[in-house]
Structure 1
């Protein structure tokens, strides 16, 4: 009965979404406040019903109910509890249910916290959001129902893909979907504003917190996927320019541009046309990622290889909302009044440069990802667009962006002083030059542009610190006054500086590990020792081990540095019981200089094992930088000026105090 209850709740959620889509929209057209007001309870009711449906599917997984086809296909009675739970979204059908649940969550959040939104705008936002939910719930019920029964049920299930049985990947999809789906709110705000014909600085203020929340989750989701691929797939790298990776990276780039564009619109009432277009395109890229992963046209370790007919359904949804949003934009664009004028050298100018470079970079990734697919569908020819293309197109666009990044926050609105900003960054620039010289002296080998890349990352990090120092006038006023200024700084200022600092950390990690990575591939026998990056690595042998639902062959290595034992590494080759597929478990020692990374290969006929050993310098800066960026977003969201209900509360407080005056 639990499964039938979940199915019934999903059907009811569809009906509520249809009601939420039609009634508030009609109410906004005829000016009926009561009809517009039903959007709030409808959005909350839709969230409740989808939560119930998701809970019922989770109960089926946890209890190993093998009368459910979805549980049979993706679970097994010997799986640990955490992977029975993560199996709910570790497949196409369950992940789509999670997709619409998060969609409803964002809609309900607008209903609950958007109390200061104009009634008509709010009704239209929730109506557009419901229309997206309707499309995807129809997709689930017609093509991807997770509640289908089997009669008779099998004795056990087929198990979850072994590479998905990992803690990082258990939580990676929810964060990634929260980012993907979160941009739907920006889309809904854009379309609703186009329907109302009112797009101004207040609109940008309302849309920015939701965009920031989605950007935060997508940042963390991408980082978790990169971290998982690094230690689980045994290839020693952190990014492969895989089409599925690119599918999540493109909306991140567009969303980053949208955040900065919305800031210009909020502060200066400028870039209206561009900001609305970005809001539509960012969610369209999210829909494209959903299509690529679920259409069956990609082969990837983290794509859902499903029936292409389902891909056609998703393609139709993408065409409907992308085409509909762009058509609405084309109809209304000429009516959008341009905002304030600003000089090229200004805060606005720096943000425009940021947008140009980010969207161009997004376009290069878009072309490199889709061109091979388009060529194959049109001509049948198969080509591969790999890292060299992306390195030579994406990389050069990032250099001017990173060079300009520290200058932007130090420029004034409308007209800035570039020389004054350069003077404030002089200390950061000098330290970056020293770092570049030190890197060149220590490494004494190519690639010769790598020291510049490391220095550029350091410059971005120190530029973020310089921004705070300049804001509190440290050194220009008494220390106590500077500390009071520091305490009184808006949290969004700290959030901006932290985000830029995290970008600098990521750049340092990317450049260092890409340029100075060391690798050894060899055959080792028990007792043999090899050296790499100052470490002496001794192979102690191989032993079998049994886990809860797998068997593995574990190699034992001791890593010494300067004659002192620093780590005991245990890379393994693992075979799961169901399905019986092998996986690789890397042995990793994380040090302050970088990671010592050991992978166990096949047994050799002449004796010994194939071993791959890597040293990845400063690779953890990549993920630490992403975590810092996520924290930065949370700090900015905690700023009262970015909380959606704050202006409304302020107005109510002022109104209450008025009679006392």
Structure 2
């Protein structure tokens, strides 16, 4: 009954999506408020039915109903409850159901919180959401149905991929999808603006919160995925320039550019056409990521699909939405009015530079990711584009971007004072140069450019502090005055400062971990000791343990520093008999922002074991930086001026006082 109910709810959601994609457009065309309001009711009803379908699939996994093919292929009766639930999206069919669930969720949120949008704009936005939903409902029902039955149900399931049986899977895919799918709202606003032929500061004010929300989730999703790969896969790395990783990085770069472009459009009504294009491209890159991961084109722990029919179907969706939207943009963009003018040296100019560098970096990742696939399709030749290419093309683009980041907030709109901004950043520059000198004198090896990179990161962090200090007149006015100015400062200003500082902090972690990490790989017997910098690692022995659905060999290591025991680490090797697979469970010992990291290789009959031992200085800053960036985004999102509503000019006409900039 649960199976049929979940399947039928999905079919009803498809029917509602079809209604949502057609009726509101007719209503907007003939200016009928009743027909336009159909978009709200259908969006809410569609979400309700998708929720029923999603809960049904979760229930089937929790109950271990192996009469359902999806449950049989990806679950096991002895699997812990948390992995039964997270295993719902640890496979192709379930992950696509999660995709449409989040899509329906965002549509419902627009219906609920977009009540003050112009009726025609809201109708067009939700209609475009209906088009996207229709395509993916058809994809699921025709090629990836999670509710298919097995004629003769087996007694036991095949279990979930052991690599995915980790708490990180509970949050990483949903966070990532909230980012991917969240950009569909920006896309829908862009298409709606092209349909209506009108785009202004009000449009930017309405689209920014949705874009910011998606950007926050995508930032956290990427960071969480990076940390999961770091501790779960046992190789000790946090980024590999894998095509699946790149698939999430590309929309993040484009979405970051979109956020900054929308600021210019809201404040100065400039960059209108460019902002619409970025909204289209950002979601297009999200769709491309879905294609790369779900089509079977790539071989990856994330790539669940292997049926060519699925790949062709997703490719058709890509062609329709990406090709169709870009064609529509080329046809309608000329009818949009150009925005205001500004001097090259201005805050608008700094944001334009930001956009150019971010989109160029995105283009290099795009080429490096897709070129090997295109070459294989056209010529049959197989090549690998790895870290050297991306490091040599991506890093040089980010250096000028990081240099420019502290200047942007200190420049005035329309026409800025560059010498004045340089003067205010002088102390930050001096501290950065001192930092470079100290690191250069301290380092005992590694990349020659590492001190300069750390100095640049310090400059970015101090630049964010200078921005706030200038706004509150720190050391220029009395403490009480500065305190009151700080309390009255818009949350978006604080959010910008935190986000920029997070970027600098992440860079410090990346440089330190990449340059000065220590690695020791050895076969160790009980009581053997390895030395890593100031730490000694002693292997105490192995013990076996039976888990819920695996057998585990656990190694014990004692960690000493200056002959003082500072901790014990217990990495393990797990063997999943049902899947016939083994995983390495790394052990981490945190010392400040640095970590000791141990993962195990094969165990020998004499009790010895191969161990990979790392010391990773300041590695946690790599993930603390994105968390700080996401926190800054949340602060900005909480700013009442960024809530979906009428823009400042409309409020001014009503006589509502405006908050200070």
TM-score by length of 1: 0.97
Tell me the residue number matched to 2:75: 75
User: Does 1:84 find its partner at 2:80?
Assistant: no
Tell me the residue number matched to 1:106: 106
Residue 201 of structure 2 contacts residue 647 of structure 2 at CA under 8 Å; is this kept in 1? no
Deviates more, 1:409-418 or 1:299-308: 299-308
Per-residue deviation, residues 165-217 of structure 1 (Å, max 9, x unmatched)? 00012211100000000000000000011000001111111111000000000
Tell me the residue number matched to 2:2: 2
Cα offset for 1:577?
3.7
SS of 2:600's equivalent in the other structure is strand
Tell me the residue number matched to 2:23: 23
SS of 1:38's equivalent in the other structure is helix
User: Does 1:512 find its partner at 2:512?
Assistant: yes
**Take 1:80 and 1:187, find their aligned partners in 2: how far apart are those partners?**
39
Per-residue deviation, residues 135-171 of structure 1 (Å, max 9, x unmatched)? 0000000111111111221101111000000001221
Give the aligned CA root-mean-square deviation in angstroms.
1.7
User: Does 1:313 find its partner at 2:300?
Assistant: no
**Structure 1: which 4+ aligned runs deviate by more than 3 Å?**
603-607, 645-648, 650-657
**Take 2:96 and 2:385, find their aligned partners in 1: how far apart are those partners?**
29
Tell me the residue number matched to 2:145: 145
Residue 298 of structure 1 contacts residue 305 of structure 1 at CA under 8 Å; is this kept in 2? no
In the TM superposition, 1:208-227 aligns within 5 A as 208-227=208-227
Per-residue deviation, residues 61-99 of structure 1 (Å, max 9, x unmatched)? 111111111111111100100000011111111111110
In the TM superposition, 1:318-333 aligns within 5 A as 318-333=318-333
Tell me the residue number matched to 2:571: 571
SS of 2:337's equivalent in the other structure is coil
**Take 2:80 and 2:607, find their aligned partners in 1: how far apart are those partners?**
36
**Take 1:521 and 1:656, find their aligned partners in 2: how far apart are those partners?**
67
**Take 2:317 and 2:611, find their aligned partners in 1: how far apart are those partners?**
47
Per-residue deviation, residues 462-509 of structure 1 (Å, max 9, x unmatched)? 111111000001111111001000000011111111100111111111
Tell me the residue number matched to 2:253: 253
Residue 506 of structure 1 contacts residue 624 of structure 1 at CA under 8 Å; is this kept in 2? yes
TM-score by length of 2: 0.97
**Take 2:60 and 2:608, find their aligned partners in 1: how far apart are those partners?**
46
Tell me the residue number matched to 1:275: 275
**Take 2:197 and 2:43, find their aligned partners in 1: how far apart are those partners?**
24
**Take 1:543 and 1:63, find their aligned partners in 2: how far apart are those partners?**
33
**Take 1:450 and 1:365, find their aligned partners in 2: how far apart are those partners?**
23
SS of 2:583's equivalent in the other structure is strand
Cα offset for 1:653?
12
**Take 1:316 and 1:81, find their aligned partners in 2: how far apart are those partners?**
37
**Take 1:421 and 1:239, find their aligned partners in 2: how far apart are those partners?**
35
Tell me the residue number matched to 2:597: 597
User: Does 1:465 find its partner at 2:478?
Assistant: no
**Take 2:23 and 2:179, find their aligned partners in 1: how far apart are those partners?**
28
Indicate how the Cα distance of structure 1 residues 455 and 644 shifts in structure 2: closer, same or farther if over 3 A, else same.
Answer: same
**Take 2:651 and 2:486, find their aligned partners in 1: how far apart are those partners?**
27
Count of residues in Structure 1 that have an aligned counterpart in Structure 2: 657
SS of 1:589's equivalent in the other structure is strand
Tell me the residue number matched to 1:38: 38
Tell me the residue number matched to 2:430: 430
Indicate how the Cα distance of structure 1 residues 237 and 656 shifts in structure 2: closer, same or farther if over 3 A, else same.
Answer: closer
SS of 1:87's equivalent in the other structure is helix
Tell me the residue number matched to 1:173: 173
**Take 1:535 and 1:419, find their aligned partners in 2: how far apart are those partners?**
48
Tell me the residue number matched to 2:206: 206
SS of 1:575's equivalent in the other structure is strand
Deviates more, 1:424-433 or 1:165-174: 424-433
**Take 1:89 and 1:604, find their aligned partners in 2: how far apart are those partners?**
36
User: Does 1:580 find its partner at 2:584?
Assistant: no
Tell me the residue number matched to 2:187: 187
Indicate how the Cα distance of structure 1 residues 423 and 653 shifts in structure 2: closer, same or farther if over 3 A, else same.
Answer: closer
Tell me the residue number matched to 1:377: 377
Cα offset for 1:596?
0.9
In the TM superposition, 1:477-626 aligns within 5 A as 477-592=477-592, 594-604=594-604, 608-626=608-626
Per-residue deviation, residues 591-640 of structure 1 (Å, max 9, x unmatched)? 12511111211235787222211111111001111111111111111000
Unaligned runs of 5+ in 2: none
User: Does 1:409 find its partner at 2:409?
Assistant: yes
SS of 1:345's equivalent in the other structure is coil
Tell me the residue number matched to 1:399: 399
Unaligned runs of 5+ in 1: none
Residue 539 of structure 2 contacts residue 556 of structure 2 at CA under 8 Å; is this kept in 1? yes
**Take 1:546 and 1:396, find their aligned partners in 2: how far apart are those partners?**
50
SS of 1:555's equivalent in the other structure is strand
User: Does 1:230 find its partner at 2:238?
Assistant: no
**Take 1:596 and 1:506, find their aligned partners in 2: how far apart are those partners?**
19
